[in-house]
């Protein structure tokens, strides 16, 4: 891709003559008004980079910054957060492709949409705090191959979602979305529903495969909904995220075949809850929650299917054939539980090589189940064992020790070391810290190691506009 510098008048020829053949073009002079910005966009060709000078710009009512139909261009604030965009709308991206929007402070009162038919759009390093309007979803993704990275979504008290993923029509969903290194913080809506940080799909799109990857994001004080990450589509991967001090957890609410891997859920309320079929829940560390750490859900139906009514699709799909392996649940109010309020019990779930430690209630409190495999779990603490079948666990002190990052890991003499036995699933190559598992795997999310972790719980310096 080539870059062009936007120069004016008779200076153009002289400037071009002064640039040696093969030299890299200079950074373009920043545009200083919305009119100049729109002109630059209208003239842009693939490879162009448009810089917007620091300052506050208010888009007039009914207006927008129209990027429709443009391809391969970058629009960037002169400094991160320096160009502030106000007004009802900012960028309109109908039919755009490979457009990057970077470094703005976005302060809109209407949704920023990546519509169906717009591909490869990237929102990166933006500070996103829209108007605190009830029911307003801030960013909507319907187009394929979008990237949402290193943004900060923050500070709202009303119902509405930070980031929504939908798709064209009524059943399709945006494909191959990548959400990474974002900071979601302080969603303080106090209602019981409708304030998720991320919602991947919706019930009508549940059976569509999205192949979204949500990784290395930090969620702090995401209290607008019991579901900080609400998955309502199929085939997604939620990994290496940190959820701290939040009411919301990770919920596979609708859809099949998703993976929840290597997440830290620390000091909040809700943990991981799953419905639907064929999920993999592996290497997660869930500690200090005041609610439920891990819930294997029951259903109002056995399986969702094509041709359901809208109301039928909204119901819960019983959890079947999930594999729950190498997780650590420590010091939660409720550790591993089921549900008793729906007629269809979860079936054929494997619960193996997990470490469950707690001092309150029952460590395992399942409702009705069918065909479960319980294998090589370790239970410990003052809490009762609950209704886990005999032979599915060992009660022994796993000798967890606190680390400097607050995570409790295995001591060198832990009986969990080398004690994992599950061999019938896809091999688990590493642990939550990024250490190789090897052939003699340890029980729980942590594989004992003497070297520093490759991955740790995230802090605000790891994510957002200034992240590496």
What would the pLDDT profile of 25-80 be if each residue is shown by its tens digit?
Answer: 567 799 999 999 999 999 999 999 999 999 999 999 999 999 999 999 999 999 99
For the residues 376-385, what does the mean pLDDT come to?
Answer: 98
Pair of tokens at residue 60: 């007039």
Of 271, 208, 205, 214, the closest CA to residue 237 belongs to: 214
pLDDT category at 24 given cuts 50, 70, 90 is low
Q: What is the pLDDT of residues 279-310, one digit of tens each?
A: 999 999 999 999 999 999 999 999 998 888 88
Identify the pLDDT of residue 80. Answer: 98
**Cα 73–chain centre separation:** 26
Instruction: Say yes or no: domain 150-462 is CATH 2.160.20.10.
Output: yes
For the residues 6-19, what does the mean pLDDT come to?
Answer: 36
C-beta neighbour count of 342 within 10 angstroms? 17
**Vertex 453: Cα angle to 448 and 454 (nearest 5):** 130
Helices (H), 128-283: none
Of 410, 398, 338, 417, the closest CA to residue 374 belongs to: 338
Residue 425 has pLDDT above 90, yes or no: no
Helices (H), 285-424: 310-314
CA distance 76 to 66: 15
Q: What is the pLDDT of residues 203-240, one digit of tens each?
A: 999 999 999 999 999 999 999 999 999 999 999 999 99
CA atoms in the 13 A half-sphere facing the CB of 91? 31
| Size (the chain), residues | 468
Q: What is the pLDDT of residues 161-184, one digit of tens each?
A: 999 999 999 999 999 999 999 999
CA distance 142 to 165: 6
Residue 201 has pLDDT above 50, yes or no: yes
Q: What is the pLDDT of residues 103-126, one digit of tens each?
A: 999 999 999 999 999 999 999 999
What b/e string do you get for 268-298 counting C-beta neighbours within 10 Å, with b at 16 or more? bbbbbbbbbbebbbbbbbbbbbebbbbbbbb
pLDDT category at 11 given cuts 50, 70, 90 is very low
Identify the pLDDT of residue 13. Answer: 36
Q: Are 122 and 100 in contact (CB under 8 A)?
A: yes
- Domain ranges in the chain are 150-462
pLDDT category at 350 given cuts 50, 70, 90 is very high
């Amino acid at each position: 891709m080539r870059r062009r510098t936007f120069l004016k008048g008779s200076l153009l020829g002289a400037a071009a003559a002064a640039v040696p053949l093969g030299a890299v073009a200079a950074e373009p002079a920043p545009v200083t008004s919305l009119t100049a910005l729109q002109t630059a966009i209208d003239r842009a060709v693939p490879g162009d980079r448009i810089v917007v000078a620091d300052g506050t710009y208010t888009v007039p009512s009914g207006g927008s910054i129209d990027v429709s139909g443009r391809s391969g261009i970058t629009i960037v604030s002169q400094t991160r957060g320096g160009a502030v965009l106000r007004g009802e709308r900012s960028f309109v991206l109908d039919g755009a492709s490979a457009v990057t929007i970077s470094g703005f402070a976005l302060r809109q009162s209407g949704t920023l949409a990546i519509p169906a038919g717009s591909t490869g759009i990237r929102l990166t390093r933006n500070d996103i705090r829209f108007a605190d309007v009830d029911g307003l979803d801030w960013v909507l993704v319907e187009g394929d191959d979008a990237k949402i990275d290193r943004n900060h979504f923050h500070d709202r008290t009303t119902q509405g979602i930070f980031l929504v993923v939908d798709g064209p029509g009524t059943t399709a969903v945006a494909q191959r979305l990548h959400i990474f290194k974002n900071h979601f913080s302080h969603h303080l809506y106090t209602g019981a529903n409708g304030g998720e940080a991320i919602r991947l799909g919706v019930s009508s799109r549940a059976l569509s495969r999205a192949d979204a990857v949500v990784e290395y994001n930090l969620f702090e004080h995401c209290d607008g909904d019991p579901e900080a990450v609400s998955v309502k589509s199929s085939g997604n991967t939620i990994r290496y995220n940190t959820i701290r001090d939040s009411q919301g957890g990770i919920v596979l609410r609708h859809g099949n075949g998703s993976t929840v891997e290597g997440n830290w859920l620390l000091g909040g309320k809700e943990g991981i809850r799953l419905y639907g079929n064929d999920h993999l829940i592996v290497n997660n560390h869930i500690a200090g929650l005041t609610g439920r750490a891990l819930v294997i859900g029951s259903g109002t139906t056995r399986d969702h299917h094509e041709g359901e009514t809208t109301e039928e699709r909204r119901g819960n799909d019983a959890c079947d054939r999930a594999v729950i392996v190498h997780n650590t649940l420590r010091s939660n109010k409720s550790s591993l539980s089921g549900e008793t309020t729906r007629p269809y019990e979860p079936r054929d779930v494997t619960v193996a090589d997990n470490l469950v430690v707690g001092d309150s209630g029952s460590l395992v409190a399942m409702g009705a189940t069918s065909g479960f495999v319980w294998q090589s779990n370790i239970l410990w603490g003052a809490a009762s064992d609950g209704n886990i079948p005999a032979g599915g666990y060992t009660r022994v002190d796993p000798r967890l020790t606190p680390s400097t990052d607050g995570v409790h890991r295995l001591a060198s003499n832990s009986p969990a070391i080398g004690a994992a036995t599950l061999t019938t699933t896809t091999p688990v190559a590493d642990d939550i810290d990024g250490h190789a598992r090897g052939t003699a795997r340890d029980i729980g999310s942590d594989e004992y190691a003497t070297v520093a972790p490759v991955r740790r719980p995230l802090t605000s310096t790891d994510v957002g506009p200034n992240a590496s």
